[in-house]
């Protein structure tokens, strides 16, 4: 059914919107990526810089994307068309839709690993004496197992999106988000009571600024966009289902606050355990799949806590994946008049297909490279270095200069809210965000391509 015959869905309540948007933000980015980025960038000093970036760039960009969605009630591309008809600004939204498509294809592969690790841990396959590096490499380089779990994960994602905003997304996040918080708190409790956990806490709260390099600042900006689901159309799309009576400012603060809290709590669940058991905090992307299983294997109650951890990762990934698929599906529903079921099935299947070479590029197809990257890393490079920064930059310029900072601010200030946007918002959206994002993008690209 097209827009003319069917009313656009709306979130059932303010809490539903906050949980859905926080569900989008909180994902592999918080629990898998944040700890390892902190670990490889020296700990507390990086966390402090990251918090500044979240406040100065993350929050204003979150407000902006939600405001664009709420104001226009359109998908990411339609929203820009609506605010600036007959101009090429729709390209900013198109980058978001493309980012949603590309990110989900490899995000689902990683989410599949977490599902598989959940069952492996539960079955006791990751006990003391396991070769954790070998097991991980063996898993991701094999043909069928990762593809099977990628298939299962994409199936869940498209099933939920096929059900719709209220019956699918809202119902799912209302159950899974509270479950996620409970699991996370249980894990922190376990980690902090391990003997020797103090060193991990110290790593997160005692800054050593000599460890900060230009690269770590770039890393912090990239992490902020990824973790807050900015530049990928998610917050525009979710904002488009938000009633006009709802305020943006406080809701955006809740989402940014919850996302940041989960990342920090995940850090407090992981580093105390890593330090208590003498592992390397700078293990990189393998932290969650190599170091942590080793940690779990060597601690009392490890099977249960290990399984809980991977379940937590999978749940967080699912509430993010649905928001990425919704970005693309909403476009086909709004602009092409497709039914929700048709759009979910077709787009979900195409994303699954794009994920196949991403998964196989870890093993059988590792010889195939683009710009020196295997296919998985190429997709990651594409989103991190091009799609998100260019999309984010265009969105900031659009809000600051085309729709105008004043109008963006006035729209966000319409309803009663505890936080009021003042001219400080104009400065952040017109100067701070675009300049910071441009510098990060150019420096990052020069560094990567040299
Ligand atoms: N924000 C989420 C995360 O941190 C997803 C990023 C949507 C692609 O994992």
- CA 103 – ligand 1 centroid, Å: 9
Is pLDDT larger for residue 420 or for residue 4?
A: 420
- CA 300 – ligand 1 centroid, Å: 31
Alpha helices, DSSP H, located in 73-192: 76-83, 90-122, 132-141, 144-163, 171-192
Examine residue 163 and state whether it is found in any structural domain, yes or no: yes
Report long-range pairs for 159-163 (Cβ below 8 Å, ≥24 apart): 159/344, 160/318, 160/322, 161/322, 161/325, 161/326, 161/329, 161/340, 161/344, 161/348, 162/340, 162/341, 162/344, 162/345
Examine residue 50 and state whether it is found in any structural domain, yes or no: yes
Domain range for 247: 14-449
Least confident of 145-159, 170-184, 406-420: 170-184
Contacts of 380 (CB under 8 A, 6+ apart): 106, 373
Give the number of the atom of ligand 1 that is nearest the alpha carbon of residue 28.
9
| Nearest alpha-carbon partner for 132 in 251, 375, 365, 306 | 306
Contacts of 138 (CB under 8 A, 6+ apart): none
Contacts of 393 (CB under 8 A, 6+ apart): 434, 437, 438, 441
* Count of all residues that appear for the chain in the document: 450
| Nearest alpha-carbon partner for 240 in 165, 341, 167, 163 | 165
Average pLDDT, the chain: 93
- CA 33 – ligand 1 centroid, Å: 10
Which whole-number Å values give the CA distances from 48 to 209, 261, 285, 427, 444, in the listed order?
10, 13, 21, 22, 21
Give the number of the atom of ligand 1 that is nearest the alpha carbon of residue 227.
4
Element (H, E) at 67: helix 59-72
Examine residue 238 and state whether it is found in any structural domain, yes or no: yes
* pLDDT for the residue 100: 96
- CA 243 – ligand 1 centroid, Å: 24
Token pair of 27, please? 């994902």
The ipTM, to two decimals, is 0.96
User: Does 218 have pLDDT greater than 90?
Assistant: no
Examine residue 380 and state whether it is found in any structural domain, yes or no: yes
Alpha helices, DSSP H, located in 337-387: 340-360, 375-381
Q: Residues lining ligand 1, CB < 6 A?
A: 24-25, 27-30, 103, 107, 226-227, 229, 320, 323-324
Give the number of the atom of ligand 1 that is nearest the alpha carbon of residue 104.
8
Share above pLDDT 70 across residues of the chain, in percent, rounded to a whole number: 99
Grade residue 194 by pLDDT with cuts at 50, 70 and 90: confident
pLDDT in tens, 250-263: 999 999 999 999 99
Burial of 133 (0-12, 13-18, 19+ CB in 10 A): middle
Grade residue 276 by pLDDT with cuts at 50, 70 and 90: confident
Grade residue 6 by pLDDT with cuts at 50, 70 and 90: low
**CA 206 – CA 200 distance, rounded (Å):** 10
User: Does 2 have pLDDT greater than 60?
Assistant: no
| Nearest alpha-carbon partner for 321 in 109, 91, 62, 67 | 109
Q: Ligand 1 pocket test: which of 23, 24, 26, 28 has the largest number of ligand atoms within 8 Å of its C-beta?
A: 28
Determine contact, residues 289/149, Cβ cutoff 8 Å. Answer: no
Examine residue 1 and state whether it is found in any structural domain, yes or no: no
Which whole-number Å values give the CA distances from 285 to 33, 276, 294, 375, 387, in the listed order?
7, 20, 15, 17, 22
- CA 4 – ligand 1 centroid, Å: 32
* pLDDT for the residue 128: 85
* pLDDT for the residue 394: 97
Q: What is the mean pLDDT of residues 348-366?
A: 97
Examine residue 300 and state whether it is found in any structural domain, yes or no: yes
Determine contact, residues 130/293, Cβ cutoff 8 Å. Answer: yes
Token pair of 343, please? 């759009």
**CA 86 – CA 90 distance, rounded (Å):** 9
Q: How far is CA 136 from the centre of its chain?
A: 23
Examine residue 9 and state whether it is found in any structural domain, yes or no: no
The three-state secondary structure class of 194 is coil
Phi, psi of 370 (to 5 degrees): -125, 125
Which whole-number Å values give the CA distances from 385 to 222, 419, 425, 438, in the listed order?
8, 32, 26, 11
Query: What CATH code is carried by the domain that includes residue 313?
Result: 1.10.4160.10
Question: Residue 370 pairs with which residues in a beta bridge?
Answer: 373
* pLDDT for the residue 278: 85
The three-state secondary structure class of 279 is coil
The three-state secondary structure class of 248 is coil
- CA 5 – ligand 1 centroid, Å: 33
pLDDT in tens, 27-73: 999 998 999 899 988 899 999 999 999 999 999 999 999 999 999 99
Share above pLDDT 90 across residues of the chain, in percent, rounded to a whole number: 78
Ramachandran quadrant class, 372 (left: phi over 0; alpha: psi -120 to 50; beta: rest):
left
Which whole-number Å values give the CA distances from 40 to 31, 180, 197, 275, in the listed order?
15, 26, 19, 14
Q: What is the mean pLDDT of residues 80-94?
A: 97
* pLDDT for the residue 440: 87
Ramachandran quadrant class, 88 (left: phi over 0; alpha: psi -120 to 50; beta: rest):
alpha
Determine contact, residues 279/291, Cβ cutoff 8 Å. Answer: yes
Least confident of 3-12, 153-162, 230-239, 326-335: 3-12
The three-state secondary structure class of 124 is coil
User: Does 3 have pLDDT greater than 80?
Assistant: no
Domain count, the chain: 1
Examine residue 8 and state whether it is found in any structural domain, yes or no: no
Grade residue 1 by pLDDT with cuts at 50, 70 and 90: very low
Determine contact, residues 47/200, Cβ cutoff 8 Å. Answer: no
| Coarse DSSP helix, strand, coil percentages of the chain, rounded to the nearest 5 percent | 75, 0, 20
């Amino acid at each position: 059914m097209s827009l003319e015959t069917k009313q656009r869905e709306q979130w059932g309540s303010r809490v539903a919107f906050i949980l859905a948007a926080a569900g989008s933000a909180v994902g592999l980015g918080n629990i898998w990526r944040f700890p390892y980025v902190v670990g490889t960038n020296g700990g507390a000093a990086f966390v402090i810089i990251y918090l500044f970036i979240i406040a100065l760039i993350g929050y204003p960009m979150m407000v902006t994307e939600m405001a664009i969605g709420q104001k226009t009630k359109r998908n990411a591309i339609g929203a820009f068309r609506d605010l600036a008809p007959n101009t090429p600004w729709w390209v900013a939204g198109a980058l978001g839709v493309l980012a949603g498509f590309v990110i989900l294809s490899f995000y689902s592969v990683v989410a599949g690993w977490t599902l598989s690790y959940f069952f492996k841990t539960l079955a006791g396959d990751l006990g003391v004496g396991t070769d954790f590096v070998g097991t991980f490499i063996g898993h991701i380089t094999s043909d069928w197992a990762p593809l099977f779990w990628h298939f299962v994960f994409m199936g869940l994602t498209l099933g939920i999106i096929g059900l719709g905003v209220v019956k699918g997304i809202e119902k799912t996040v209302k159950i899974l988000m509270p479950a996620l918080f409970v699991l996370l708190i249980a894990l922190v409790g376990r980690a902090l009571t391990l003997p020797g956990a103090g060193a991990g806490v110290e790593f997160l709260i005692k800054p050593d600024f000599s460890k900060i390099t230009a690269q770590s600042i770039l890393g912090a900006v990239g992490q902020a966009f990824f973790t807050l689901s900015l530049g990928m159309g998610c917050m525009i799309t979710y904002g488009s289902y938000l009633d006009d009576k709802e305020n943006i400012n406080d809701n955006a603060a809740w989402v940014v606050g919850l996302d940041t809290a989960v990342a920090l709590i995940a850090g407090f669940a992981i580093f105390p355990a890593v330090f208590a058991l003498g592992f390397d905090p700078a293990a990189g992307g393998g932290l969650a799949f190599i170091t942590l299983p080793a940690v779990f294997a060597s601690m009392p109650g490890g099977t249960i806590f290990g399984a809980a951890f991977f379940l937590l990762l999978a749940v967080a990934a699912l509430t993010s994946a649905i928001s990425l698929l919704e970005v693309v599906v909403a476009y086909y529903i709004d602009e092409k008049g497709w039914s929700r079921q048709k759009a979910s099935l077709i787009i979900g299947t195409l994303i699954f297909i794009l994920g196949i070479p991403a998964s196989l590029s870890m093993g059988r197809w590792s010889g195939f490279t683009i710009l020196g990257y295997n296919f998985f890393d190429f997709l990651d490079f594409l989103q991190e270095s091009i799609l998100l920064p260019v999309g984010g930059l265009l969105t900031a310029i659009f809000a600051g200069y085309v729709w105008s900072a004043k109008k963006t601010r006035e729209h966000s200030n319409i309803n009663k809210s505890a936080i009021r946007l003042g001219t400080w918002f104009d400065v952040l959206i017109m100067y701070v965000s675009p300049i910071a994002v441009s510098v990060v993008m150019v420096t990052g690209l020069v560094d990567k391509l040299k």
